[in-house]
Structure 1
């Protein structure tokens, strides 16, 4: 293999999705990955900080038959304290989370991938316009999750 060739992606057995507050993007990603891959891949999510779960995120997941209503937002520090950070892959979905994920690689042997994902909470307008922004995030994450985590 030439030195400039991209290295092959290893099979992921455990993945951590991170965003700013573990309130929208990372809980959506966690719920979808668990839905599509069941127990084949260990999945968690956390935030650089801890927020409150977003109702629109739950609504757009409900639309596709995925229930995330029991999700409790947690910070990366809480996750580390509760169960450690033994992940093959950390997927960061926001700039703040990406910086935090890169910091973690000083002590955690995980690959880090940055999937820049728009924060749908910034969208203003009618309820339907706002839901469309969340659907766009959901659908984009779903596509990437299915492609990246398949065997």
Structure 2
């Protein structure tokens, strides 16, 4: 979700890659739906694991910053800083997965997460161009 929002807000000002701790990181329908509400297309998006990135030839040393959105991704990113010079920032945001069964409540939680990500990006990188 963060990669799609970042691309929507800041375009090509930075190269962005969404990475998860596990390699089974299909984007769920709730994230797709709440991002579509703001014009961010995620239906074909898939994030990769850190290990997959390396296997597919993405050189982690070419990145300047890792934004970790979960404690697990922060731990993995910090492990990688032993081998690469990467700045790691932990941005605790709500993890709405599996919290409730009611669709409307779950959508509200996903919107809250989306809006937290937007606020963090704007705070960190400034207002998007043309905002």
TM-score w.r.t. structure 2 length? 0.89
> What is the number of equivalent residue pairs in this alignment?
124
In the aligned structure 2, how far is the partner of 1:149 from the partner of 1:79? 24
Question: Per the alignment, in what secondary structure is the counterpart of residue 40 of structure 2?
Answer: coil
Superposed displacement of residue 125, structure 1: 3.4
Residue 50, structure 1, aligned to residue 26, structure 2: no
CA distance in 2, matches of 1:53, 1:31: 11
Q: Distance in 1 between matches of 2:124 and 2:87?
A: 13
Offset, 1:108: 1.3
Structure 1 gaps, min length 5: 1-27
Are residues 1:107 and 2:83 paired? yes
- What is the rounded CA distance, in whole Å, between the counterparts of 1:84 and 1:70 in structure 2? 23
| 1:4 match | none
The counterpart of 1:40, out of the listed 2, 10, 13, is: 13
Cα RMSD between the aligned structures?
Answer: 1.3
User: Runs of 4 or more off by more than 2 Å in structure 1?
Assistant: none
Among 63, 77, 84, which residue is 2:59 paired with?
84
Which residues of structure 2 form unaligned runs of 5+? none
Q: How does 1:2-151 map to 2 (within 5 A)?
A: 28-51=1-24, 52-82=26-56, 83-85=58-60, 86-150=62-126
Q: Distance in 1 between matches of 2:44 and 2:33?
A: 13
Cα offset, 1:73, TM superposition: 2.7
Distance 1:69 1:54 in 2: 9
